[in-house]
Structure 1
Amino acid sequence: MFIAYAVVGLLLAAGLTMSAVGTFTRVEKVIASMLGLGVPESWLPRLATLKALGAVGLVVGLWVPLIGEAAAVGVFLYFVGAVVTHLRAKDHEIAPAGVFVVLAVAAFVLRLASA
């Protein structure tokens, strides 16, 4: 199970890193999407930091199971919030956030199973 966690955790960490970098560097498509959902611009650096910390936590979780589990829960909660934000804005393009939710659940379950 550890190998499965490593694959899912690293895949999720890579996606989080790309998303965080896109927010930090203000990639137009990323920023326009978030602002279009009503996310205040002042929140963007904090949200990018949370994604980056989630990625770090998943990688550290390869060696420290509790950190990996906590990171997976945090990423799950972050992206459940993202799905809710999309739905409240009447934007039904929730597939990317939904994929992150599923990967976070998989990472959590696999990390538990491999401990």
Structure 2
Amino acid sequence: MSQTAKINYLELPAKDLTTTKTFFTTVFDWQFTDYGPEYCAFNESAGLAGGFYLSGQNARVESGSVLVVFYSDDLLDTQTKVEQAGGQINQAVFAFPGGRRFHFLDPNGNEFAVWSE
């Protein structure tokens, strides 16, 4: 299958790469490869390959950022994992056409969402 014109990689800001790796490994079981002190990458086991770069900025919908949305078979279990790993729920579970979802901030302040049917 051709990969031309397909989304291939995603890069996100992170204030603390160590905290970022711990959070996403704990909640979503991601694995990381470090590329120097200012960049770490995650592989396709996350659904799409990408990385985090050291930055004082964050990605939030209110700032015009794209929203990265995860799928979960068990929405409330994922919410519990997010909270226990240091994430902050910034939009409680709500219904939308097709399912339910919540939004959270990772320890860097980046906004994500999780949905389920």
Q: Mark yes or no: TM-score above 0.5.
A: no
Give the structure-1-normalised TM-score: 0.29
Give the structure-2-normalised TM-score: 0.29
Flag the structure with higher strand content.
2
Which fold has the larger relative contact order, with Cα–Cα distance below 8 Å and residues 6 or more apart in sequence? Answer: 1
